[in-house]
A = this chain, B = another copy of it.
């Protein structure tokens, strides 16, 4: 990859970051190309140089986030750890990622409000991939006898819902810091699985 291409890649990432931060602040529809450009001291024309259109930019932003989340989870999945610790680590990393990225709705909102056709399919399958990891952890825990027998799908969704909601109520001024909070949420959630 030439210097030029590397620079272009870097710029694309910057634009995506800018888009993500503005989406987190204003919401998807209220985000304008002007906003995204202005944050980087560019004009919107430049953004169009790197991305086909607004939808393309917003789609790629969401995709990047989901891919990062999946990378996070897969890294933990591949480790040699007791199942309980593994699931807890997954939860802690998820919550911390959510708080630092402050993406608002990375995994939360209904994608069909924003995407259609192939884009929607791609987002859905990335989300499924993520869900599936958690299902696998729960199933392993049940098999090995460490977890109670539960309805995997329901418990997985309870866990995801409780974690994603953090973004709505977390404030940095709280008494607990990010990591402590993530720890204690995951402790509570594990009680559903462990007596």
- Cα of A159 to Cα of B158 in the assembled complex, Å: 8
Min CB distance, A33 to chain B, in Å? Answer: 16
Q: Is the interface of A mostly helix, strand, loop or mixed?
A: helix
**Taking A162-B161, A191-B191 as contacts, is the C-beta distance between A154 and B110 under 8 angstroms?**
no
From A154, A160, A163, A195, residue with most partner B Cβ within 10 Å: A154
In chain B, what residue has the closest Cβ to A150?
Answer: B188
Q: In the assembly, how many copies of this chain are there?
A: 2
Chain A 115-137 interface residues, beta-carbon cutoff 8 Å to B: none
Set of chain B residues within 8 Å of A163, measured between Cβ atoms? 161
Set of chain B residues within 8 Å of A159, measured between Cβ atoms? 162
Contact A181 B162 (CB under 8 A): no
- Cα of A181 to Cα of B153 in the assembled complex, Å: 11
Contact of A113 among B27, B155, B160, B195 (CB under 8 A): B27
